[in-house]
Structure 1
Amino acid sequence: MGTNASQLEKEFGTSFPPNERYFGLVNFGNTCYCNSVLQALFFCVPFRNNVLRCSSATSKKKENLLTCLVDLFSSIASQKRRVGVYTPKKFVSRLKRENELFDNMQQQDAHEFLNYLLNTVADLVTVETKTSGAESKASDASVKTWVHEIFEGVLTNETRCLTCETVRSKDEEFLDLSVDIQQHSSITCCLKCFSGTETLCSQYKYFCDTCCSKQEATKR
């Protein structure tokens, strides 16, 4: 790996981004679902920076998934070499102890792991915020962490009755969207399809509270 790393650095030459570290993660038997998400999050700069800011705050904390993530990101970011390989053994071990779904040698769903990780980090940050007294009067549901600031969006579901034109809408907060990916298309195209208008008719008619009956409607 040392020879390959040196060759990679030579190929990058002067175009190598300053202060960046490109490290592969060792696979512990079908843990590529975990490694791929961790590497994607490491290169999500706002997320990485916030995790690294937790370094001093978590140094004396009881070990949890966030402290292990801090250790992992800090270890990679502080490497003298710009490319190489790192072993995320501590993080993977903690993950398996905290969630039995991942405590096996089987391949898991990367999306499911991403959701679990983001929600767990957000919960741990929320607890830390409340412990510090910064949000002592707020409820858990009202606390917004830096995880939410980076990833959270609002999805509006809108239904329009085609008889009376009454529109009903509902807002839902989300950290991720499940978008159908079409072959030979772009993410922009997929998002347009995701937010497209669907007609509710026949046995799928919409019950309109204004008309007090089932009516044809559009949904988007």
Structure 2
Amino acid sequence: MDLSQFRREYLRGGLSRSNLNSDPVLQFTEWFEQAQNIEIADPTAMILATVGSGGQPHQRTVLLKYYDEKGFVFFTNFESRKAREIKENARVSLLFVWLDLERQVMINGTAAKVSTAESARYFMTRPKESQMAAWVSSQSHILSSRQMLLQKFDEMKRKIGEGKVPLPSFWGGYRVAPVEIEFWQGRQNRLHDRFLYTRNGASNEWTIERLAP
């Protein structure tokens, strides 16, 4: 199928150096709030890219649960492929795509597990059904049938009953500590605006450079 004529112009606006916050986390907050304000579907959805020891990249969509100057946090099964690859290579990339605003944000950094206490605090805020689902899904492993998964879920519901669901030892969060954050704003004629923040390891300060589209 030839898709070469499938295109549109990006005309919503531009991005200049004078409009950028010197702190990329604060700049991210500004853009994230704008995405929320126009009610973009799933503004917390981000593509997580990992590369294991074999060198093959893998991508999937995960949900940002909170962030601050220390990094961006998501949760998963520690036996999943993403977790196995992070164990082999902690360098990861996150990508937010907010096409309604013609914007992207790319975050490159290193992922590390959050504390068990931090994972437990978040786990307790999840709906009970989601808590139970974390127990029954052997994430990324081969599943013989959906019926078997649903059967395990029903068994879990009967076992837990009205009780509380404990935090699985194989489930928790990762914090991605950023070393680079790029803000991309679509522009007419594919002359997009791109600004790259790079953290200086010695001073922990950020430098900002404009990149060619």
TM-score by length of 2: 0.23
Say which structure is richer in strand. Answer: 2
Using structure 1 for the length normalisation, give the TM-score: 0.22
Q: Which has the larger radius of gyration?
A: 1
The higher relative CO (CA closer than 8 Å, separation ≥ 6) is in 2
Q: Which has the higher helix share?
A: 1
